[in-house]
Chain A
């Protein structure tokens, strides 16, 4: 990335902020990757670092780490209040202003703030001397994968459920096979020993049962037709018997009537009609003196009496006549029913004949089925009904058996399919879990290895040929959120650095670790501020540190180094620090009236 495209702090103005009792403005050359700010103790270097922290991180800076300080009260320059604080920052052509709004630090356009990492002296040792959980917090934002861990737990649960499902389906398959085995045994183990239950069942269900089903249907239909035809024949016979009986009754009544009349019944009936007509004539003409037929003289009253006597004598005959009429009528009705039932019998018989032909049942199929032979056909069919029912039951039994075998067999097949699916799912989920788990561990280890390797690389720049360093960083498997550091010293590994490293070595180890983390988090886009972190270094190490910074500044937008070490001025004076990459700002001694002031700006 070229200098021109880097977002660098160009100007920072402190107003009533910490050591800046007045307004203090510092400008930096944006073409230079490193800014060195030199000043004796108490000249205001930390105030500048804090000002950058105030705007970029909305932080109280060094005061946040100190006890007995209240940032809102102590960030303002002495004698001033939080309302008066203002820090203006110009970076990459844009500007931001930080101030207090109520209890909070407020900066405009927070979303686009420059990224700044500020390292202070007090922090150096804490990186190395921290507890594993505190050390973990330093790297948490790079290695914490709580989201993936939760999803991994979901996958573990899925594996567990899948294992349970697999067991259930295996059990179901065993039960289904057992059911089929039992059925096969109950059927007498047909096909054994060449076949087992499954082979036998597969063979049975492959058979074509459509013909058996069709035969069953034909026999069922035939039985129905036999029953209907038999009933029709019975009705016909009853009708015939009834008609015969009524015919007999008519004949008997005829005989009774003949006996009652002494003359033919027909004649007697005619005479009754005549006498009734005559009585009616004489009632209409009571004074008639001669017979209307022979014209002989008559005595009308005597003649009327004689007619009444003869009619009375013939009453019984009249009644017989009425009964005979009724009997005749009944007989005629019976004959109609015979005719009707005969037709029904014939129709049922024809239907029966058709069913016999379809079912092809012997010996019925050979019998004639003309009208005259129909009663005989029906009777023969009825006589054979039991045999036909037996044949139907046999066909039904065959169908039932097929259905049972099919049911057991299909159940086993379904269970096998379900089991295969469950096995595939469980294997897939287990493989997925292996991948997720191994990638998660590898990811974390990669990040830690990256940090560790970079730390050691930087450390070796400052302490070449010195047999000490950070061997590895690793998560504590037994404790969540805990990061262990393994160091080596003079060939001995797994040592606590605090026990064997000098203060300077501990400081530089802490610095290198911090810088490695800053590189990891910034992706080349951060501003790094180092506030007097090299105080414990001797001349040789300090020089190597400066060389390191000159190289590493390419990995950040900007590096700002605050120091009171005069070695820096000496190197500048002797032009050992490349001028094209760096600039120097020198601070004067601080006074309350002047605040932070500059000596000169050396480009």
Chain B
């Protein structure tokens, strides 16, 4: 039996799972992970948020590459 629930709600746990899956799939940048998790769990992720997260991946990747250089 998992004992990792602690004080986290199901929304928070599921939001973390989903957020990690979306980042792993390259659909959302890792830099937007916390924003995504928070809004997912709270139920406040609006259509425009989803659009921004998905649209921003190429731009964010470029910025991250520049920072690394």
Taking CB atoms, residues of chain B closer than 8 Å to A144 are: 10-11
Q: Are A439 and B10 in contact (CB under 8 A)?
A: no
Which 10 A/B pairs are nearest by Cβ-Cβ distance? Answer: A150-B43, A151-B45, A147-B43, A158-B47, A147-B11, A428-B54, A158-B50, A157-B47, A443-B14, A151-B40
Taking CB atoms, residues of chain A closer than 8 Å to B22 are: 432, 435-436
Q: Are A443 and B1 in contact (CB under 8 A)?
A: no
Q: Which of A158, A421, A450, A516 has the most CB of B within 10 A?
A: A158
Q: Which of B1, B39, B48 has the most CB of A within 10 A?
A: B1
- Give residues of chain A (146-165) contacting chain B, Cβ–Cβ below 8 Å: 146-151, 154-155, 157-158, 161-162
Minimal beta-carbon separation of B11 from chain A (angstroms): 4
Report how far A413 CA is from B69 CA in the complex, Å.
32
With both beta carbons as reference points, the residue of chain A lying nearest to B18 in the complex is identified as A439
With both beta carbons as reference points, the residue of chain B lying nearest to A443 in the complex is identified as B14
Q: A151-B44, A154-B45, A154-B49 known; A432 and B11 CB under 8 Å?
A: no
Report how far A161 CA is from B1 CA in the complex, Å.
42
With both beta carbons as reference points, the residue of chain A lying nearest to B40 in the complex is identified as A151
* Interface membership of A521, Cβ < 8 A: yes
Taking CB atoms, residues of chain A closer than 8 Å to B18 are: 148, 435-436, 439-440
Report how far A189 CA is from B6 CA in the complex, Å.
73
Q: Are A148 and B15 in contact (CB under 8 A)?
A: yes
Question: Using a Cβ cutoff of 8 Å, how many contacts connect chains A and B?
Answer: 106
Q: A144-B10, A439-B17 known; A520 and B5 CB under 8 Å?
A: yes
* Interface membership of A566, Cβ < 8 A: no
* Interface membership of A302, Cβ < 8 A: no
Minimal beta-carbon separation of B58 from chain A (angstroms): 9
Minimal beta-carbon separation of B59 from chain A (angstroms): 12
Do most interface residues of chain B lie in helix, strand or loop, or is the interface mixed? helix
Taking CB atoms, residues of chain B closer than 8 Å to A147 are: 9, 11, 15, 40-43
Q: A151-B44, A435-B27, A555-B1 known; A145 and B10 CB under 8 Å?
A: yes
With both beta carbons as reference points, the residue of chain A lying nearest to B47 in the complex is identified as A158
Do most interface residues of chain A lie in helix, strand or loop, or is the interface mixed? helix
Taking CB atoms, residues of chain A closer than 8 Å to B43 are: 146-151
Interface residues on A, range: 35 or more
* Interface membership of A392, Cβ < 8 A: no
Report how far A141 CA is from B8 CA in the complex, Å.
11
* Interface membership of chain B positions 12-36, coded 1 if the CB is closer than 8 angstroms to chain A and 0 otherwise: 0111011001100101100000000
With both beta carbons as reference points, the residue of chain B lying nearest to A524 in the complex is identified as B3
Report how far A421 CA is from B54 CA in the complex, Å.
11
Report how far A161 CA is from B48 CA in the complex, Å.
10
Minimal beta-carbon separation of B57 from chain A (angstroms): 7
Report how far A158 CA is from B41 CA in the complex, Å.
18
Interchain Cβ contacts under 8 Å between A and B, 10 examples: A145-B11, A147-B15, A148-B11, A148-B41, A149-B43, A155-B45, A158-B51, A443-B14, A450-B1, A520-B5
- Give residues of chain A (420-447) contacting chain B, Cβ–Cβ below 8 Å: 421, 425, 428-429, 431-432, 435-436, 439-440, 443, 447
Taking CB atoms, residues of chain B closer than 8 Å to A432 are: 22, 25, 27-28, 50, 54
Which among B4, B17, B25, B54 is the interface contact of A429 at CB below 8 angstroms? B54
With both beta carbons as reference points, the residue of chain B lying nearest to A428 in the complex is identified as B54
Q: Are B50 and A154 in contact (CB under 8 A)?
A: yes
Q: Which of B9, B47, B48 has the most CB of A within 10 A?
A: B47
* Interface membership of A415, Cβ < 8 A: no
Taking CB atoms, residues of chain A closer than 8 Å to B45 are: 150-151, 154-155
Minimal beta-carbon separation of B10 from chain A (angstroms): 5
